[in-house]
Amino acid sequence: MPTNEPERLWTILEILQWTISFFKEKEIEPARLTAEVLLAHTLKKDRLHLYVNHDEPLTPAEREAFKALIRLRVQGTPTQYLTERQEFWSMEFAVAPGVLIPRPETEHLVEAAIERAKPLEQPAIADIGTGSGVIAISLHKELPHAAISASDISEAALNIARRNAETLFPNGHRIAFVQGDLFAPFAGQCFDLIVSNPPYISTEEYAGLSREIREHEPPTALLAGAEGLDVYRRLIADAANYVRPSGWLLFEIGNTQAEAVTRLCQENGWTVEQVIKDYAGLNRVVAARR
């Protein structure tokens, strides 16, 4: 946005057009959507407002606030950390630096869990490494009678997850949020389903991720040792103590990890009954049973 133009009033359309071409030049993709989302956020309106009111001018304060967001986005801050929102399972979740931005692929894990829990009268489910709470909260929405526990090692993540549950279910919910290392908060408990999207990025893969991810998303949510299998290894080794005899272990996996995770399951007395692919045709979820 050209500076030193104190007198000039920019309309919504003009400022969007300028920002879209600036984002394209800076290789911020998708340029139009990013510009619209950030401008709508600045104006505290939805995106439709931008179309309906395209000839409305921005106030100088709005223009300055928008400029600040453009600057941060171009410097690498993910759009979701600027708007502090991400949609998942048709709900708006709060996110913030310190918690992973939920990815759409994780909805396949939620689907797999619903399919298995639905026939049960009162399923007990644990979501390990809940982050912003998307998995636990989506399961609560679809399975209101389930007893759901959600854990994370990060207190910052749990605070956001709790806040999301309270905002999305203002009349109360049945999710127990607990802090701790993997199964540590669940001593003596048994579940029908253990669901987890754990950290699964290898050291090598991590080095190849975009700067946007490496410099802004929490490494503890992503990194899992040399092969990316460290957390699966620990979860699978201990799971039998926390899963009922006919219960399920459901993991999101990296697209190259199906074989290795299946082997870990077999070595620990679990049978992988299904490997579910995502919409891109990549292996995404492993469902194992004792």
Residue 232, annotated ligand binder? no
Size of the site for ligand SAM (CB under 6 A): 22
Cα dihedral sign, 226-231-232-235 = positive
Q: Measured between alpha carbons, how far is 257 from 224 in angstroms, rounded to an integer? A: 12
Applying CB under 6 A, which part among 52-60, 67-75, 99-107, 164-172 lies near ligand SAM?
99-107
Q: How far apart are CA 189 and CA 17, in angstroms?
A: 56
Using CB under 6 A as the binding rule, whether residue 102 contacts ligand SAM is answered as yes
Amino acid at 57: P
Query: Which 197-216 positions form the footprint of ligand SAM (CB under 6 A)?
Result: 197-199
Torsional sign, CA 26, 29, 33, 34: negative
* One residue of 181, 204, 215, 267 binding ligand SAM per CB under 6 A: 181
- Give the torsion through C-alpha atoms of 269, 274, 280, 284, to 10 deg: -30
Q: How far is the CB of 254 from ligand SAM (least distance, A)?
A: 10
Q: Is 39 in the site for ligand SAM (CB under 6 A)?
A: no
**Binding of ligand SAM by 236 (CB under 6 A):** no
Name the segment binding ligand SAM (CB under 6 A); options: 70-78, 129-137, 186-194, 203-211.
Answer: 129-137
> Residue 78 interacts with ligand SAM (CB under 6 A)?
no
**Separation between Cα atoms, residue 82 and residue 90, nearest integer Å:** 20
Is there binding between residue 129 and ligand SAM (CB under 6 A)?
yes
Both structure tokens of 41 = 């956020």
| Contact set for ligand SAM, span 153-172 (CB under 6 A) | 153-154, 157
46 a known binding residue?
A: no
Of the chain, the end-to-end C-alpha distance in Å amounts to: 59
Instruction: Give the DSSP letter string of 45-56.
Output: S-HHHHHHTTTP
Contact call for residues 123 and 193 (beta carbons, < 8 A): yes
Q: Concatenated DSSP letters for 224-270? A: -STTS-HHHHHHHHHGGGTEEEEEEEEEE--TT-HHHHHHHHHHTT-
State the minimum distance, in angstroms, from the CB of residue 195 to ligand SAM: 9
- Using rule CB under 6 A, residue 135 touches ligand SAM: yes
- At which residue do the structure tokens 């979701």 appear? 80
Among 58, 124, 134, 286, the residue binding ligand SAM under the rule CB under 6 A is 134
* 149 binds ligand SAM, rule: CB under 6 A: no
Q: Is 132 annotated as a binding residue?
A: yes
225 is in an annotated binding site: no
We find the least distance from the C-beta atom of residue 26 to ligand SAM, in angstroms, to be 27
Q: Which residues bind ligand SAM (CB under 6 A)?
A: 100, 102, 106, 128-132, 134-135, 151-154, 157, 181-182, 197-199, 220-221
Annotated binding site for substrate: 197-200
Annotated binding site for S-adenosyl-L-methionine: 129-133, 152, 197
